[in-house]
Amino acid sequence: MYLDNINLIIWDWNGTLLNDVSVCVGAINLLLSDRNRPLIDVKTYLQIFTFPVKDYYQKAGFDFKNEPFEIPAMQFMDIYREQLVNAGLHTDSIFVLKQLQSLGFKQAVLSAMEQELLNKLLNQYEINSYFEETFGIDNHYGAGKIDRGKELIESMNLNPKECLLIGDTLHDAEVASALGCQCILFDGGHQSRERLETSGHKILSKLSELLSD
């Protein structure tokens, strides 16, 4: 049912395949602490994280009247890169990627992560061979990825209706809608299930549920 009439599966990266929520919360709390602002916990993070991430920073307590967004955004990425050793793939990521490949599905990555870092991580986790295309962005500011998604589908010359986007945020649902492709959301990432349910899309608690129909 999930994969009927699908030729391409487009994976989000952060939060969907990569389990990096704790790293993100830890990094943002270091920046908040430096500014003598209250820290946030994971529950709060899942309720306020959003795209563009500048809006999330404001909800977390940053004051852009005192400093431009670009300063904490770049500081965050420096900390994030250092702390990525504490992250890892979600438990069944590789199993699902391997199974989908064996079933003949094309797979790609569409991420709001900067392209060079994205490529590095896909190689580091030894999963780049599962993807025909990997599309990140050209900066660290997390504004969104709709335009990159359009480029991805055009580059593969596919019918959007035969593409399935799997992500962990409401922005992924927005991207899927803008691209005209199908969408399934995963509740193990950067937004709470409660928030994801407002999208009206099917929600997975485990990536392996994708193979259970």
The answer to whether the beta carbons of residues 160 and 170 sit under 8 Å apart is no
User: Does domain 8-20+89-211 bear CATH number 3.40.50.1000?
Assistant: yes
Q: How far is CA 76 from the centre of its chain?
A: 16
pLDDT for position 52: 87
φ, ψ for residue 196, nearest 5 deg: -60, -35
The answer to whether the beta carbons of residues 9 and 207 sit under 8 Å apart is no
For residue range 49-107, what is the model confidence (pLDDT) as tens digits? 998 899 999 999 999 998 999 999 999 999 999 999 899 999 999 999 999 999 999 99
User: Among 88-92, 141-145, 183-187, where is mean pLDDT lowest?
Assistant: 141-145
HSE-CB of 63 using CA atoms within 13 angstroms: 7
The pLDDT mean for the chain works out to 94
For residue range 153-177, what is the model confidence (pLDDT) as tens digits? 999 999 999 999 999 999 999 999 9
The answer to whether the beta carbons of residues 192 and 47 sit under 8 Å apart is yes
pTM: 0.93
At 115 the three-state DSSP class reads helix
